[in-house]
Structure 1
Amino acid sequence: MRRYTVTTAVTLCAVASLAAAMGPASAFPAAAPPAAHAVKQQPVPPVLVDCLWNPQVHPGDFMIACGDGNSRLASLRWSHWGPDSAEATGTNLVNDCKPYCAAGTFHSYAVTVRLDEPKPWAKNPKMQHFTQMSLVYTADRPEGFQRTVTYPLWS
């Protein structure tokens, strides 16, 4: 019986000593919340939404004609990707569909690509996505195309 009394007394003394050393919770100042100006998050840049509904930033390739694959951008080199626009140079590979698309030939055309008009993306409204793409053909261009072609982008 005496053994339990000694063990209990030692345990109680240890707990009391620990509590005294820590002091009341009010003795320690509360941690100050981080200053609002100290944590500055960089804005998320707008994205380019691909055919599979994946958001992309600085893609190297991009399918323009999702339905049939007869027009795509390749070898994109981005010189600018900002909150309002993005710009790249690359190649537009276009099927001439002669005599019909399945038997057609792909031709390469040098282009400058510009992305504009960012808006909230329907799939993720907190994310902006570009809604317009303009291609400027810098040399030859596909038959029937203007020097500058502008496409609305899906959301």
Structure 2
Amino acid sequence: MKQQAGQPVMVDCFWHAQVRPTDFILACGDGNSRLTSLRWSQWHPDSAVAEGFNVVNDCKPYCAAGKFHSYPVIVRLNAPQPWKKHPDLSHYTQLSLVYINGKPDGFGQWVDLPLWN
């Protein structure tokens, strides 16, 4: 989706600006965690909210042999700041996941992650 004036973006692993993406990689190094089927209910100057799935590799017995599991989540973006690559654009710097039904081993029900700059 095209960015509208004053609208923050998400910066992906390839330093591309994304607005209301349907999919988003969280683990850029190996792709073992990503968001899929995102449905955005809000995309405001200070925050954004979506529902979707966090697809995570269990890495058992090791990541190459692991299986991917899908967990329903609520995604919240906040803390917009000027983007270093394009200072005229604002980008969300914080992502929060709330697991609705089940969660990956070792994860809390609520997870906060920094986003790329």
Bin for the TM-score computed over the shorter chain: over 0.9
Counterpart of 1:134 in 2: which secondary structure?
strand
TM-score (norm 2): 0.96
Partner of 1:68: 30
Partner of 1:93: 55
1:112 to 74, 81, 84: 74
Partner of 2:114: 152
Partner of 1:124: 86
> Alpha-carbon deviation of 1:44?
2.1
TM-score (norm 1): 0.72
- When the two chains are superposed, the root-mean-square deviation of aligned CA atoms in Å is 0.8
What does 1:9-20 correspond to in 2, within 5 Å? none
Count of residues paired in the alignment: 114
Task: Give the fraction of aligned pairs with identical amino acids, expressed as a percent.
Answer: 63
Partner of 1:56: 18
Structure 1 ranges of 4+ moved more than 3 A: none
> Alpha-carbon deviation of 1:43?
3.8
The structure where strand makes up a greater share of residues is 2
CA displacement 1:57-108 (0-9 Å, x = unmatched): 0000000000000000000000000000000000000000000000000000
Q: Flag structure 1 segments of 5+ consecutive residues without an equivalent.
A: 1-41
Q: Flag structure 2 segments of 5+ consecutive residues without an equivalent.
A: none
Relative contact order (C-alpha < 8 Å, sep 6+): which is higher?
A: 2
> Alpha-carbon deviation of 1:154?
1.3
Measured in 2, the distance between the counterparts of 1:105 and 1:125 equals 40
